[in-house]
Amino acid sequence: MALDKYGIAKRIAQEVKDGYYVNLGIGIPTLVANYIPSDIQVMLQSENGLLGMGPFPTKDKVDPDMINAGKQTVTTIDGAALFNSAESFAMIRSGKIDLTILGAMEVSEQGDIANWKIPGKMVKGMGGAMDLVASARNIIVAMQHTSKDGQSKLLKTCSLPITGLHCVKKIFSDLGVFDVLPEGGFKLLERAPGVSVEDIIQATEGMLIVEGTIPEMKI
C-alpha cells in the first residue's frame, strides 16, 4: 500500500545524519522533524532567520514573533541563533546546509524540479526554493508519485515552470525511493510496503531504472 504523508516523512527521517544542518520545506518536509531519531544531533534551519528550530510550542509558550518558514509558531533549541533574511540565504548559497528537503509538483529524470507555479491557475511564488535548489549540495524531494487524476509526476521533462535545473539528488514518493542519476533517470532503490515494482513502473513516466531485486523499505 502506498505511504501516506506521515510515512513518507518517516522514511525521509532516516536520511538525516548526526551533526547535519537541515532545511525543511513547507508540507511533507516539515513533518520530517517529528521523526528524527532522538539519539542524533541535528540543527534545523528555517530560512526566515532561525537556526536551531525546536518543536511547536505548548499553548502557554506561543510567541507570534517566533515562526518558521511555513508561518507556523515554533520554539528554539539550545544553541539556536537568529539572523536576518540576507544572512539566512548567505548560509544557504555558501553551501553550509547539509540536507535540503523540498516538496515538488514535478521532477524530471534530469533532476529538474517544478514547485512554484501553475500558469493561469495558481501562483504561490518560489519563496526560498529557487535559492535552495541553486546552491544546496544535497537536495531530496518529498512528493506524491502521481497527481489526483493519476498522472505521473516523475517525468521525462517538467511540464510546469521549473524551479531549478539538475538539482534533485533523491526522491521519496508514496511508492518508493529513487536516486536521480547524474546521467539522467530515476533509479529505483526501495519500494513502499506492499507496492510492487510493476506498480511503480506503471506510475512513472520518466526513465525508470530497475536493477536486481528491489527491497521493501523499512519504516
For residues 75-114, which are near other proteins according to CB under 8 A?
Answer: 76-96
Tell me which residues in 14-53 interact with other proteins (CB under 8 A): 19, 21, 41-43, 45-52
Tell me which residues in 133-152 interact with other proteins (CB under 8 A): 134-135
* Count of residues that bind other proteins according to CB under 8 A: 73
- 159 is a contact residue toward other proteins (CB under 8 A): no
| DSSP per residue, 86-122 | HHHHHHHHTT--SEEEEE-SEEETTS-EE-SEETTTE
Does the annotation count 106 as an active-site position? no
- 184 is a contact residue toward other proteins (CB under 8 A): no
Q: 15: burial class by Cβ within 10 Å (0-12, 13-18, 19+)?
A: middle
Check if the beta carbon of residue 103 is closer than 8 Å to that of residue 142.
Answer: yes
- 118 is a contact residue toward other proteins (CB under 8 A): no
C-alpha cell at 35: 521523526
The DSSP output letter for 58 is P
- 197 is a contact residue toward other proteins (CB under 8 A): no
Return the residue matching grid coordinates 539572523: 83
Check if the beta carbon of residue 155 is closer than 8 Å to that of residue 108.
Answer: yes
- Specify the length of the chain in residues: 219
Of the two residues 114 and 154, which places its CB atom closer to other proteins in the complex?
A: 114
Nearest to 214 by CA among 171, 177, 168: 177
- Least distance in angstroms from the C-beta of 195 to other proteins: 31
Candidates 69-77, 144-152, 187-195, 199-207 — which segment interacts with other proteins by CB under 8 A?
69-77
Among 1, 38, 59, 149, the residue binding other proteins under the rule CB under 8 A is 59
Residues carrying an active site annotation: 47
